[in-house]
Amino acid sequence: MSYPHGAELYRGKAKTVYATADADLLLLHYRDDTSAFDGEKKAALSRKGMVNNHINAFVMTRLAEAGVPTHFVRLVGPQESLVRRLSMVPVECVVRNVAAGSLVRRLGVTEGQRLAPPLYELFLKNDDLHDPMISEDHALAFGWASAADLKRMRELSLQVNAVLTPLFADAGITLVDYKLEFGRQAGELLLGDEFTPDGCRLWDAGSGERLDKDRFRRDLGGVVEAYEEVARRLGVDLPAGE
């Protein structure tokens, strides 16, 4: 890693978080690791960290330009980004434009069914419990989020949808669904974590081909190549020779 950093603070499934000399900033290192099914299936895929780092930077920049407050500061290396340190809310916000994944399994609905208006769901961020679905009442009762947090998270999640759905559509990609995480810095709620094909479903608008982590989940192969195709269509400038 090229950017000066301090101690390792947290090692997730695909990213490592490091301290920096500035207490308000962190370094995110996007590793080549990938996993599915709560870490039961794992692999290291060359170039994946670099591609995800640059896709995330592109998306976060577009969201910030549209008025969505994010923790992203800037790229500092092929697999590194500088971000604001957040106190994370342990609730994942999921927005669904098309029925897929756990929604299909839970409700028996048809995969590919368009959802209008988009469906908004909450899940507790807890790998040991397999990220169970929760309601706003659960979040309030157990102190996971305040009423103001929940209202703002919903607003921002749907604002993200309004920005990114046409952005991906212009690239010939259907934004099927995605998850978001939020946190606080200096009292302000910001979008945290990442927005990459690891955390959303992206289908080719014509063929329906998967261009996201479902390629890994379903053993379809070509995971990194699909991510690179997403980057190419969006106009993400990937480093040459990485």
Q: What digits encode the pLDDT tens for the residues 166-177?
A: 999 999 999 999
Token pair of 95, please? 């927005």
Token pair of 72, please? 């992203």
Give the per-residue SS3 of 43-92: EECCCHHHHHHHHHHHHHHHHHHCCCCECEEEEEECCEEEEECCEEEEEE
> In the structure, what pLDDT confidence band is assigned to residue 241 with cuts at 50, 70 and 90?
low
pLDDT of residue 37: 83
CB 84 within 8 A of CB 73: yes
Q: 3-class SS at 116?
A: strand
CA gap 115, 133 in Å, rounded: 19
Q: Which amino acid, residue 128?
A: D
| 3-state DSSP percent of the chain in helix, strand and coil, to 5 | 30, 35, 35
Asked if pLDDT for residue 146 goes beyond 70, the answer is yes
CA gap 44, 128 in Å, rounded: 23
Rg (C-alpha) for the chain, rounded Å, is: 17
Q: Give the orientation angle of helix 147-170 with respect to helix 48-65, to 10 degrees.
A: 110
Q: What digits encode the pLDDT tens for the residues 40-53?
A: 889 999 999 999 99
Q: Please give the model's pTM, rounded to 2 decimal places.
A: 0.95
pLDDT of residue 1: 64
Task: Name the DSSP letter for residue 240.
Answer: T
Whole-Å CA distances, 174 to 81, 131, 164? 27, 25, 10
- More confident: 36 or 126: 126
CA gap 18, 184 in Å, rounded: 18
